[in-house]
């Protein structure tokens, strides 16, 4: 009954991960090595120009660089390290990340966002995404490229198995329950909250009290919605077995006893049962697609963490070294 933290190296949009890379590395180099990227040639006059003026006075690169290292140096260095680790890994496995694969990541991201409703033109949506994430065009392109590489690397292991598809369809279309759930770290607090709910005789008022109690003090994510879980499936392994079994024993309006679960002490109120139904072919395809995307996301996060863990990064600049050390 808990939500895990999303690794900082991955950006997600709804169910889809959008994490990706930059730079090309030589697969013959030693594992963990981060090679130097050749500097872009510029004219002597450009080298002498300050990066900015404030009130007519120049801001020198030496002043700007240390602050930039503190503000985002660790994040950018991690992106570079992951990108080069992915270059090495895709080369080792003989996988080529094409431009069409990178653009497919962009299309998939836009498709996921469009499913939530009208978002504007393609350019407007991409600009909003970049702005919200604090990404310029080059970092956003690197993000897409890393994601394309990760997805290609985990494609085979992320293919849904028959039993996984069947379970997902049972969760989505089988019998279920509309419930309100309360969770607390304290058994006493859970018992007190339950007493408030069962002390109300009217079923309609009891539902209102249950909603208020959940909003006020439940530790479950559903608290923001009055504890409401629209579809609580008895087949969903994301919930403890005791909670799934209990839901099937309640009558509409009935409140369960307090249960000890791995996520805390909980009780629920059944609002109504939901009958099973036969899905259409399109619904089955959508469920399988979402399952595959979810498996890909988890596998991509895991692989990104493993690659970063094996990649040696040795910041030389003192400010960047401090930012890297403090962020690990």
Q: Which CATH architecture has domain 175-274?
A: Roll (3.10)
Residue pLDDT, tens place only, 70-111: 888 889 999 999 999 999 999 999 999 999 999 999 988 888
The answer to whether the pTM exceeds 0.75 is: no
Q: DSSP H helical segments within 119-186, as ranges? A: 122-133, 137-154, 162-173
Residue pLDDT, tens place only, 194-228: 999 999 988 889 999 999 999 999 999 999 999 99
- The Cα–Cα gap between 111 and 265 comes to 39
CA nearest neighbour of 32 among 88, 91, 94, 79: 88
Structural domain boundaries in the chain: 12-33+61-159+287-327, 175-274
- The Cα–Cα gap between 73 and 321 comes to 9
- Contact, 173 vs 49, CB < 8 A? no
Give the model's pLDDT for residue 186. 95
| pLDDT digits (tens), the chain, 328 positions | 433 333 444 544 433 333 333 333 333 333 344 433 344 455 555 567 888 889 888 888 888 888 888 888 889 999 999 999 999 999 999 999 999 999 999 988 888 776 656 667 888 888 888 888 888 889 999 999 999 999 999 999 999 999 999 999 999 999 999 999 999 999 999 999 999 999 998 888 999 999 999 999 999 999 999 999 999 999 999 999 999 999 999 999 999 999 999 999 999 999 999 999 999 999 999 999 999 999 999 999 999 999 999 999 998 888 888 888 887 6
Give the model's pLDDT for residue 248. 94
Strand ranges inside 189-318, DSSP E: 228-232, 259-261, 264-274
- The Cα–Cα gap between 289 and 267 comes to 33
- What count of Cα atoms within 13 Å lies in the side-chain half-sphere of residue 95? 19
- The Cα–Cα gap between 116 and 120 comes to 12
């Amino acid at each position: 009954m808990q939500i895990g933290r999303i690794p900082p190296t991955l950006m997600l949009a709804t169910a889809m991960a959008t994490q990706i890379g930059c730079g090309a590395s030589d697969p013959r180099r030693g594992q963990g090595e981060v090679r130097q990227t050749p500097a872009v040639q510029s004219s002597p006059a450009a080298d002498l120009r300050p990066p900015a003026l404030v009130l007519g006075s120049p801001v020198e690169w030496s002043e700007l660089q240390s602050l930039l290292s503190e503000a985002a140096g660790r994040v950018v260095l991690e992106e570079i390290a992951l990108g080069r680790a992915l270059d090495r890994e895709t080369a080792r496995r003989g996988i080529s990340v094409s431009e069409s694969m990178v653009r497919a990541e962009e299309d998939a991201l836009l498709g996921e966002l469009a499913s939530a409703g009208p978002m504007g033109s393609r350019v407007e949506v991409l600009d909003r995404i970049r702005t919200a994430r604090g990404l310029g065009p080059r970092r956003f392109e690197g993000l897409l490229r890393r994601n394309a590489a990760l997805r290609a690397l985990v494609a085979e292991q992320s293919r849904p198995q028959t039993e996984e598809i069947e379970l997902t369809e049972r969760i989505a279309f089988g019998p279920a329950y509309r419930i309100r759930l309360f969770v607390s770290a304290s058994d006493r607090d859970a018992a007190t909250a339950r007493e408030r709910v069962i002390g109300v005789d009217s079923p309609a008022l009891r539902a209102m009290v249950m909603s208020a109690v959940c909003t006020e003090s439940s530790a479950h994510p559903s608290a923001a919605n009055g504890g409401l879980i629209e579809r609580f499936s008895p087949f969903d392994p994301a919930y403890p077995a005791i909670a799934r079994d209990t839901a099937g024993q309640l009558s509409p309006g009935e409140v369960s006893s307090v249960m000890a679960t791995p996520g805390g002490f909980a009780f629920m109120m059944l609002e109504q049962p939901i009958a099973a139904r036969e899905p259409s072919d399109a619904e089955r395809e959508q469920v399988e697609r979402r399952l595959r995307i979810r498996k890909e996301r988890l596998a991509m996060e895991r692989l990104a963490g493993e690659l970063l863990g094996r990649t040696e990064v040795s910041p030389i600049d003192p400010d960047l070294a401090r930012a890297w050390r403090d962020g690990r």
